């Protein structure tokens, strides 16, 4: 099928609205052709992922658009960057790269994007509604928007994200379309311990297992006994999008397009049914754990950025104790969440207990960790998936409560009884 452009699309592609729009339209149109789209569609919002400095190409592209007068035409949020502007002393990287990273951030703000600097834009006060067509990049945000909010975005990446924001257009393809949002593979939970169902580790390892199996298919998970909250679904989607190319998932009875298994499947039989057992999930946990022994230098939480509720659970688990002086503890979050945490008085208490709060960036990419030659612990499958390759650090994946207890003890503390019988509330 040939791509049909409206008269306005064609005029803009020919340079009728200036060089910035022409360049942005060229990118959007070429992507649409590659995807086999028949037309472009209007979007109402965008989220730009390409805010981290990974070399000259993203910077030069953004500055070229900005120099040519590009401005976003829909509300556009910005993903985590390479710098924590609120806590600049945390940056341990090359000073010159820091300056280039700031230039990249400034270029996007100069085009009218909101300086949100968060990988969890769905935690902002304004977020897309069900059925709303948007163009979001950042893998976990894409999965959350499609799956939990019921908004519609395909998997967008660097350059395409800002081009969609500048033009207000995106290819009518992929997860924008009804037929591509139906599940084709079922994951059925079975033979899990009651304790594992309530552990914060479950969505992390389940999401990783799902992502490793499905690739870019749309999965549906059946058998979660109680409808999980947004933080649980966030963790599941983040892990699945890291281990695979998952842009959307369903959880029966919990996500808006899966009130029943039959609805999630569109009335069709699944191509595959996978029964998930405790041993499968434990093996997945073990695959994401590269460290051995009890040595511990770092605990890093908040990938994706912690919500207010997640920080509240950390504060509750810490229970007024201090972290061990030999362990660095980092919690990454967004600026809006930090404001709320400050208002509740939690931030001061956390800092007094030895916790470092990080905003605007992510610790598995930006050089913030003081110690990478010794193991780090995390409750995030995404952090555990990427940190060994990015930072060269060995990792222990654990529940949030295990991370807290380890931070206080100054060594790795795991409760393996979760996989068989009885455990503390993790």
**Residue 191 has what pLDDT?**
79
Q: Is the pLDDT of residue 106 over 60?
A: yes
Are 362 and 84 a contacting pair, CB within 8 Å?
no
Give the residue-averaged pLDDT of 302-324: 98
Q: Is the pLDDT of residue 423 over 50?
A: no
For the record, the structure tokens of 112 come out as 């009218």
How many alpha carbons fall within 13 Å on the CB side of residue 350?
Answer: 24
Give the residue-averaged pLDDT of 92-119: 97
Q: Is the pLDDT of residue 421 over 80?
A: no
β-bridge pairing 135-136 and 46-48 = parallel
Q: How confident is the model at residue 129 (pLDDT cuts 50, 70, 90)?
A: very high
**Residue 418 has what pLDDT?**
86
Positive or negative, the CA dihedral 306, 308, 314, 315 is: positive
**Residue 194 has what pLDDT?**
86
pLDDT digits (tens, 9 = 90+) for 162-210: 999 999 999 999 999 999 999 999 999 987 888 899 999 999 999 999 9
Give the residue-averaged pLDDT of 222-233: 94
pLDDT digits (tens, 9 = 90+) for 336-374: 999 999 999 999 999 999 999 999 999 999 999 999 999
Q: What is the mean pLDDT of the chain?
A: 96
Q: State residue 232 phi and psi, 5-degree precision.
A: -65, -45
**95-110 and 56-67 helices, crossing angle to 10°:** 30
**Residue 384 has what pLDDT?**
98
**Residue 417 has what pLDDT?**
84
Are 385 and 242 a contacting pair, CB within 8 Å?
yes
For the record, the structure tokens of 159 come out as 């350059």
Q: Is the pLDDT of residue 101 over 90?
A: yes
Say how many residues make up the chain: 426
Q: How far apart are CA 201 and CA 248, in angstroms?
A: 20
Give the residue-averaged pLDDT of 118-142: 97
**Residue 193 has what pLDDT?**
86
Return the closest-CA partner of residue 370 out of 380, 360, 358.
358
**Residue 195 has what pLDDT?**
87
Q: How confident is the model at residue 7 (pLDDT cuts 50, 70, 90)?
A: very high
Residue in the structure block whose two tokens are 């191509």: 271
Return the closest-CA partner of residue 327 out of 381, 390, 269, 377.
377
SS3 (DSSP) at 368: coil
SS3 percent helix, strand, coil of the chain, rounded to 5, is 45, 15, 40
Positive or negative, the CA dihedral 133, 135, 139, 141 is: negative
Strands lying side by side in the sheet with 298-306: 355-359, 328-333, 298-306, 376-378, 395-397
Residue 180 burial class via C-beta count within 10 angstroms: exposed 0-12, middle 13-18, buried 19 and up: middle
Consecutive H or E run containing 320: none
C-alpha radius of gyration, the chain, whole number:
22
288 vs 227, more confident: 288
Q: Angle at CA 342, nearest 5°, toward 336 and 343?
A: 95
Least reliable range by pLDDT among 126-135, 191-200, 258-267, 269-278? 191-200
SS3 (DSSP) at 399: coil
pLDDT digits (tens, 9 = 90+) for 400-410: 999 999 999 99
């Amino acid at each position: 099928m040939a791509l049909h452009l409206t008269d306005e699309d064609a005029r803009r592609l020919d340079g009728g609205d200036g060089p910035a729009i022409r360049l942005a339209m060229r990118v959007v149109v070429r992507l649409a052709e590659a995807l086999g789209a028949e037309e472009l569609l209007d979007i109402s919002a965008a989220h730009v992922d390409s805010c981290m400095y990974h070399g000259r190409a993203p910077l030069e592209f953004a500055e070229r658009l900005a120099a040519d007068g590009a401005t976003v035409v829909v509300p556009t949020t910005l993903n985590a960057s390479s710098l924590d502007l609120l806590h600049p002393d945390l940056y341990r990287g090359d000073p010159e790269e820091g300056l280039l990273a700031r230039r990249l951030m400034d270029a996007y703000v100069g085009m009218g994007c909101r300086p949100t600097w968060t990988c969890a834009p769905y935690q902002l006060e304004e977020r897309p509604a069900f059925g709303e067509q948007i163009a979001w990049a950042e893998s976990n945000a894409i999965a959350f928007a499609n799956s939990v909010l019921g908004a519609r975005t395909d998997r967008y990446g660097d350059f395409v994200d800002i081009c969609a924001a500048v033009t207000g257009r995106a290819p009518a393809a992929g997860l924008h379309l009804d037929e591509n949002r139906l599940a084709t593979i079922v994951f059925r939970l079975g033979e899990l311990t009651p304790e594992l169902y309530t552990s914060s580790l479950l969505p992390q390892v389940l999401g990783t297992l799902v992502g490793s199996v499905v690739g870019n298919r749309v999965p549906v998970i059946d058998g979660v006994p109680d409808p999980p909250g947004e933080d649980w679904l966030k963790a599941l989607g983040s892990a699945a999008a890291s281990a695979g190319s998952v842009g959307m998932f369903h959880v029966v009875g919990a996500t808006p397009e899966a009130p029943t298994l039959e609805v999630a499947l569109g009335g069709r039989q699944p191509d595959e049914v996978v029964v998930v057992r405790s041993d499968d999930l434990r093996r997945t946990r073990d695959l994401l754990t590269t460290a051995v022994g009890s040595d511990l230098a770092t605990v890093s939480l908040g990938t994706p950025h912690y919500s207010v509720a997640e920080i509240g659970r950390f504060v509750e688990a810490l229970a007024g104790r201090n972290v061990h002086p030999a362990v660095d503890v980092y919690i990454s979050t967004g600026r809006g969440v930090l404001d709320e945490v400050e208002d509740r008085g939690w931030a001061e208490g956390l800092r007094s207990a030895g916790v470092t709060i990080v905003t605007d960036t992510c610790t598995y990419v930006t050089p913030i960790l003081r110690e990478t030659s010794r193991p780090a612990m995390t409750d995030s499958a995404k952090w555990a998936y990427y940190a060994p390759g990015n930072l060269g650090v060995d990792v222990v994946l654990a529940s949030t409560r295990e991370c807290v207890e380890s931070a206080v003890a100054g060594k790795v503390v795991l409760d393996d009884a979760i996989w068989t019988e009885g455990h503390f509330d993790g």
